[in-house]
A = this chain, B = another copy of it.
Amino acid sequence: MNNFSYYNPVRIEFGRGTIAKLADLIPPDERVLMVYGGGSIKKNGVYDQVKKALAGRVLQEFGGVEANPQYATLIRAVEVVRSKEITFILAVGGGSVLDGVKFIAAAARFEGEPWDILEKNAEVKAAVPLGTVMTLPATGSETNTFAVISRVETRQKLAFGAEACYPIFAILDPETTLSLPDRQVANGIVDAFIHVLEQYLTCDQDAPLQDRQAEGILLTLIDQTERVLKDPKDYAIRANIMWSATQALNGLIGVGVAQDWATHMIGHELTALFGIDHARTLAVVLPSLLRHEKANKKDKLLQYAARVWGISDGDDDTVIEQGIRKTEAFFHRLGVPTRLSDHQVDLEQTAPIVARFSKQNARMGETQSIDAVAVEAILRASA
């Protein structure tokens, strides 16, 4: 195991009716900005629950944060934070809203050009305190420091992370997820599943507990997927999915081990260029990437096939291939396709992605084995 630091101070309030706890979680004299997305929270009752919990407070609202939150939108929110002297930002929605709020919170306290936080990895030393009511189990953003922000005019989708951007609290009420469209439920499960694989399917590490914890999340997501497809309105199932998505990216399964994340780097480019849902880009890239990297990841791919999918008969190549096919079938079961052509994207259209990685001299993956040439091969195999 490699040396590591782990620190995750997010206070989690999980379960039915927990939105009411906002009244205690946010001190009464804070000047609060409530940030949300396209307005689904007004239909499913979450907006009303938040307003009720914070009745009588100084409370501003900022709606309209997009899926793949846009830099220009967030900069407008930064101006609100400054002009209204906001002291606490509450993200109400899914990972995009929360990622947007992390950036708003950092940018509002940043001296200099906020875009540098994303493009130049400028250090974020402070942020406006923030919390979240998370209504979409997927990104794990509720218990980590990371955010991914898009800029439509330059077709960029860039990430940053800073300890100052940890939510002070995360309210997770599985009831808020019962009204999600099927597509978002499916995307969320695939996103969480691949978050685990990015940390787990790597070169071998001698970190058996992290492996078991990762496999536990994968097995749970697989089991709960069958349950939720049969019984989409069951609270207990939604609770298990929500908690699995949080555990997938709270940092714990990734401590002390090398991590990959190349699927995400390539997937972000597919979203930036073609607007494909984040999880769906990952489902396109991952299978081809695993096949391309099967020498590096051989031991872990065999372990994955055996422990997660129960496949161990046959030579190594056969077992690994069967494990990857089971993964693809799992995504298909959720209605999530695994080919670029399913998204009406031709291979030729992906040339700018390869060019961008080439220009950056990119070396991705846990052994830095994925360069622009590898990206081209992976995208071709995913065509």
Contact = CB atoms under 8 A, between A and B. Distances in A.
Contacts of A243: 1, 209, 255-256
A84 interface: no
Contact of A18 (B1, B3, B7, B216): B3
A13 interface: yes
B11 A206 contact: no
* Chain A: number of interface residues, binned into ranges: 35 or more
A196 to B, nearest CB: 11
Contacts of A220: 208-209, 212
A212 B221 CA distance: 11
B5 A206 contact: no
A5 B14 contact: yes
A24 B70 CA distance: 38
A145 interface: no
Contacts of A9: 7-9
A240 B7 contact: no
Interface in A190-210: 206-209
A226 to B, nearest CB: 12
A4 B14 CA distance: 5
Given A3-B15, A212-B217, A213-B216, 18 more contacts: A5-B12, A6-B12, A8-B9, A9-B9, A14-B256, A206-B236, A207-B240, A208-B219, A209-B240, A209-B243, A209-B247, A212-B212, A212-B215, A212-B219, A212-B220, A213-B213, A213-B247, A216-B216
